Structure 1
Amino acid sequence: MIEFKNVTKVYDNNVLALSNLNIQIDKGEFVFLVGPSGAGKSTFIKMLLKEVDPTAGEVIIAGTNITKLGHKEVPFYRRKIGVVFQDFRLIPTLNIFENVAFALRVIGASEREIQKKVPSVLAMVGLTKKRNAFPNQLSGGEQQRVSIARSIVNSPSILIADEPTGNLDPETSLEIMDIISDINRAGTTIVMATHAKDIVDAMKKRVIAIEKGTVARDEERGKYGYEI
């Protein structure tokens, strides 16, 4: 599903972010991406989203070398990827239903499709009764549930979670992880970047540790392994 082949990224200020990185993630895997700040995790995620290109090497997603995608092809590629951020990024003037529906409207989905899919994903994240509420009426955990619903309403093959529990208390974090685990069990490939040592250690999933732009450790049922 995801393959980085000899990927190096050097930014314009001569900062080496990734160095000859080789990673393969299979379809349906759940992978934690860990490492100290500045290790290269953000660059890895930006490459998955085609926000930055490697200086050398190839990034292959579902058999497609995305480093060769043209500008007009990128929006269509990104529809296959869901993203959950630490800061939710909800639209404050839209209610919960419309925040999730927005992801469908931007790709031209029909109203019939929207009315079918949005209630389904809201039910999955336990927010059916909150569909008419606005973001400022929700707790942090509920806002993150909305963010997750929005990220999966297009049925992406890959879900990228970038510090999704960073602003949440421990109990709410576990609830969010249960939802993400359910999404993974349904067949979606999960790549989650995090500093949450307790979550990584409890989940016992594959852990890829990046340090100074290279893979320092890759364990099938690993632990966080870094001081926070």
Structure 2
Amino acid sequence: MIEFKNVSKIYNNNVHALKNVNVKIERGEFVFLVGPSGAGKSTFIKMLLKEVDPTTGSIMNNGTDLSTLKRSQIPYYRRKVGMVFQDFRLIPNLSVYENVAFAMRVVGASAREIRKRVPTVLSLVGLSDKYKVFPHELSGGEQQRISLARAIVNNPSLLIADEPTGNLDPETAKEIMALLDDINKAGTTILMATHAKDIVDMMKKRVLAVEKGVIVRDEKRGKYEYEV
């Protein structure tokens, strides 16, 4: 589904963020992206979101060659990619329901589709009863559940999670990981960048380790193996 072929990225200040990366991620996989700060994880993610382009090499995602995407096609491509952040990024003046519905409105979904789909995903993340509530009235874990609901409401083929448990206590983090695991088992490919050693070691998923722009380890049932 995802393939990086001989991908390198050199920024203007001559920083080599990625160096000749070759990676394949199959449809339906759950992959952890780990490594020290500055290793190249953010660049890896930004390339999949078509926020930055490789200096050399090519990237395919779900049959789409990102190097040939026109600027006008990028918003349509991104509709197939869900994104979850460490800081939730909910819209503060919109209710839970409206935050999730907003993601559907952006892609042109009908009012009928929204009325049907939003309650379904709120139920999936266990927050059906909070649909009228605003983000500031929710706990951190609840906010992350809503951001997850928003990320999957349009049935993306790929879900990217960037430190999704970074602001959560250990117990809530486990709950979010259980949700991500369920989403993955339903068929969504998940790429999660994290420094959470306990979570990576507990989940026993594929681990891609990046150091100084190079993939130094690729293990099917990997561990974190970094000092934290």
Q: TM-score, normalised by structure 1?
A: 0.99
1:41 corresponds in structure 2 to: 41
**1:178 aligned counterpart, secondary structure:** helix
Q: Separation in 2 of the partners of 1:26 and 1:203?
A: 18
2:124 corresponds in structure 1 to: 124
Q: Separation in 1 of the partners of 2:61 and 2:92?
A: 33
Q: Separation in 1 of the partners of 2:194 and 2:120?
A: 28
**2:31 aligned counterpart, secondary structure:** strand
**2:121 aligned counterpart, secondary structure:** helix
Q: Structure 1 runs of 4+ off > 2 angstroms? A: none
2:156 corresponds in structure 1 to: 156
Matches within 5 A, 1:207-218: 207-218=207-218
1:86 corresponds in structure 2 to: 86
Aligned residues: 228
1:175 corresponds in structure 2 to: 175
Q: Separation in 1 of the partners of 2:68 and 2:8?
A: 16
Matches within 5 A, 1:108-147: 108-147=108-147
Note if 1:51 corresponds to 2:79: no
Percent identical across equivalent pairs?
70
Q: Separation in 2 of the partners of 1:135 and 1:154?
A: 21
64-73 or 197-206, which moves further after superposition? Answer: 64-73
1:43-82 deviation per Cα after TM superposition (whole angstroms, max 9, x unaligned): 0000000000000000100122111100000000000000
Structure 2 unpaired stretches of 5+:
none
Note if 1:185 corresponds to 2:185: yes
1:8-31 deviation per Cα after TM superposition (whole angstroms, max 9, x unaligned): 000011110000000100000000
**2:171 aligned counterpart, secondary structure:** helix
**2:101 aligned counterpart, secondary structure:** helix
Note if 1:226 corresponds to 2:226: yes
